[in-house]
Structure 1
């Protein structure tokens, strides 16, 4: 492949990145398609030409996926994988392609195929030298969600814990991704009736999110709610109340965009209060929030 053609393809792919960053996904598809067509015109048995074609397909597949055009993304990912043909010098790219390919199958409801492709992605990420640990963690988290949804608590736990071990080692405890996986494990334990473990995982997630984001952030507010539910299950009603109150305050401060989250937390809290016989407090919260909602709509 001649240098001017390679340069043009790279310029087009850089333009795709700029358009995606600007939120102009429709134009990004056109730029990505231009790169694919130019790479296809010069496609031969030369490895460089194959690399440029596969990389252009990957870029367009990513844009299609962002647009929700999953069938087209699926086709681009598959064609790129076929072009690279398990080449040992393209392990990271093969891992990324299988990860994206799995994601579109997941979106299309093909969960078994998604799990198979994500497992293949892990294989490529593990085989790379050095291993792509953070990508492995992301795939483990994806597999954990599939297993949790299928009722495989033990399988989901194993995947989540592998992801957590990697993230804790590579990014530290007080990182957004580590906190997210801690939260996911807490939710898994809570649904499985492992309330003491759920409590600790949600506490770890909350501590990290407060350090990262402060008190007025949707993730922090959600962690307060999750911890409150776990505390109820371990018999700490008074402490649970405090975290429900903090969750409500957090979502209230975030405004109308989080009205549905606020309502869900308030419903949880009011149900707890009524179960404990504190009807006056529950009614006061309900009246306050409904009044605030009406004012927001009127405004």
Structure 2
């Protein structure tokens, strides 16, 4: 049997396992109508699987003890499993609670017993890798992860107590406008994922839960695709011949043909979701049809307009603009859809604001109708007087000019974004060994050098230069190349000044000050931070989040402890009064307050501030995040200095284990943690173990 055939057998088998037993045979026959040999193999595997389960059930039936597959009450990492939330063909999700120092609920996902094939385990780790890079209020947060004692990988995600978005809207009789606002929040999350080079590939109501408070949360990145040259598992997770992991009725035409996913794939899925939110039913209902028939309709048939299926009271609002928006998102050719999720969301926003949408052909009569719809009462009153009619004509002309100006600005912004994206894509393709057979893949340093060479030729496009130089500066900084990061930031600053981007100019100057502090020390950075603080206050006022950040940076760079304390307390006041609160910014201010209180000889106040910072960070980030480890280390040092060596040892050990997972054994951060733990254990009289860590 050749590899593609086996891959198709495996893919169909796994899809069938997600169905009820009585539905599997019909599904396999329909799925494999053109490959009966594949269907026969899959049915045989399913039969063997069922017989194996029956044998297990018979064995368990003879045992008076509890079901060994019931994990209720068992611990995985810091989590105690409470009850099963759901089970699929190869994975299961448990409600769990963390009941150690921090009480928190989570959804713990792990591979089902017996499903430890290398590829499934790798896909599971792939999902964890994707979630680790996605921190957004509308994406389920990764809290923790690891490997269970039986060898199964697991991950703990934010537990979302909600309902699928379509059901949530129906049960609460959500208005049309509120449904569209909810949809835009989903778009915001998907665009954020795309900005991090992640395509979801399986957007559907079941993967978008809405909480009682109305917060939509995007779930299940199990088959997401990373468009990243540094994704070392790219070859494994690429779409292969015979393997099509998709949801019929929601999948884009190119997915049904087995083509590689792009951001346009998610634009299609959002179009399907918008169709259902408008009409109450999906455009390509799969009920009563085989998967092949559903996929054929997706590729060949155009669905009726959502207004034709919508509830009668809403038809007049959906017909026209909203129909056109959905039709644009659901074009068969990916290149003819919206160019990004942002563009789709923007058009929905324009409809909500009564503005012309880009999915409709532009014309003076169309713009005039939209103007009338936005200003019904003034125009109706003005129509009584001939002079007002003339004034309306003048206003209409100005309105048309304003819309044209706005369209031109948006067009320029879109062109800049597309240029930035194209340059990055070109660089990533240079690093893709699949596109350059016979050569080694390029290192990140090579890619950055090539990118900076390209930027030198964009002097006439300073806004594009600014965005790319900022991107390269962030990459240099993450790699510890601070001189290169500062050089790139200075280039970004110069480009922002040429482009007239005033906010970007202030931000870049502040970032340069931060890198300067790392390279040259606090004394050199202090006047730069003070300059940034005054500039932020002048532009945004005294209570802006950027002012709070600048206060912390300036306080950390000056020697006067009383002035430091006043600045930090002012920063905290700004953070606590924000709505919504910037949790990460608040944690940063609290950690700095704790450090300052400690230096002033106030250990109880210091530990209280740092403990609050750690609580916030632990709720937002995964346990091994550098920010979590930094605050944990500060608390360990506080405990050690006041003689609480038991707490100091516990925290130092946790930091050491986290650094080993993040940096690997033999690295300087791990060596520093070994030394710190050795000192604590020596203080407790455990000299033998202390020597082992201090060697």
Say yes or no: TM over 0.5.
Answer: yes
- Per the alignment, residue 267 of structure 1 pairs with 675
Query: Which residue among 139, 147, 158 is the counterpart of 2:550?
Result: 139
Q: In the TM superposition, what whole-angstrom CA distance separates every residue of 1:139-179 from its partner, at most 9, and x where no partner exists?
A: 222212322xxx33333333333333333333777823322
Query: Which residue among 238, 243, 246 is the counterpart of 2:654?
Result: 246
* Distance (whole Å) between structure 1 residues aligned to residue 455 and residue 414 of structure 2: 10
The question of whether the paired residues in 2 share the 8 Å contact of 1:221 and 1:247 is answered with yes
Taking a change above 3 Å as real, the CA distance of residues 104 and 13 of structure 1, as seen in their structure-2 partners, is: farther
The question of whether the paired residues in 2 share the 8 Å contact of 1:65 and 1:104 is answered with no
- Per the alignment, residue 637 of structure 2 pairs with 229
The structure carrying a bigger helix percent of its residues is 1
The question of whether the paired residues in 2 share the 8 Å contact of 1:206 and 1:224 is answered with yes
> What residue ranges of structure 2 are gaps of 5+ in the alignment?
1-404, 429-443, 477-483
Taking a change above 3 Å as real, the CA distance of residues 4 and 230 of structure 1, as seen in their structure-2 partners, is: closer
* Distance (whole Å) between structure 1 residues aligned to residue 563 and residue 688 of structure 2: 44
- Aligned residue for 1:170, secondary structure, equals coil
The question of whether the paired residues in 1 share the 8 Å contact of 2:420 and 2:464 is answered with no
Q: In the TM superposition, what whole-angstrom CA distance separates every residue of 1:210-229 from its partner, at most 9, and x where no partner exists?
A: 22224344433333332122
Query: Which residue among 525, 529, 540 is the counterpart of 1:118?
Result: 529
- Aligned residue for 1:146, secondary structure, equals coil
Are residues 1:77 and 2:493 paired? yes
TM-score by length of 2: 0.32
> What residue ranges of structure 1 are gaps of 5+ in the alignment?
40-52, 85-89, 291-299
Q: Aligned residues, how many?
A: 263
| Higher RCO, Cα 8 Å, sep 6+ | 1
Taking a change above 3 Å as real, the CA distance of residues 61 and 244 of structure 1, as seen in their structure-2 partners, is: closer
- Per the alignment, residue 606 of structure 2 pairs with 198
- Aligned residue for 1:193, secondary structure, equals coil
Taking a change above 3 Å as real, the CA distance of residues 171 and 141 of structure 1, as seen in their structure-2 partners, is: farther
* Distance (whole Å) between structure 2 residues aligned to residue 12 and residue 131 of structure 1: 32
* Distance (whole Å) between structure 2 residues aligned to residue 272 and residue 13 of structure 1: 52
The structure carrying a bigger strand percent of its residues is 2
TM-score by length of 1: 0.65
Taking a change above 3 Å as real, the CA distance of residues 263 and 79 of structure 1, as seen in their structure-2 partners, is: closer
Per the TM alignment, residue 135 of structure 1 is displaced from its structure 2 partner at its CA by 1.4
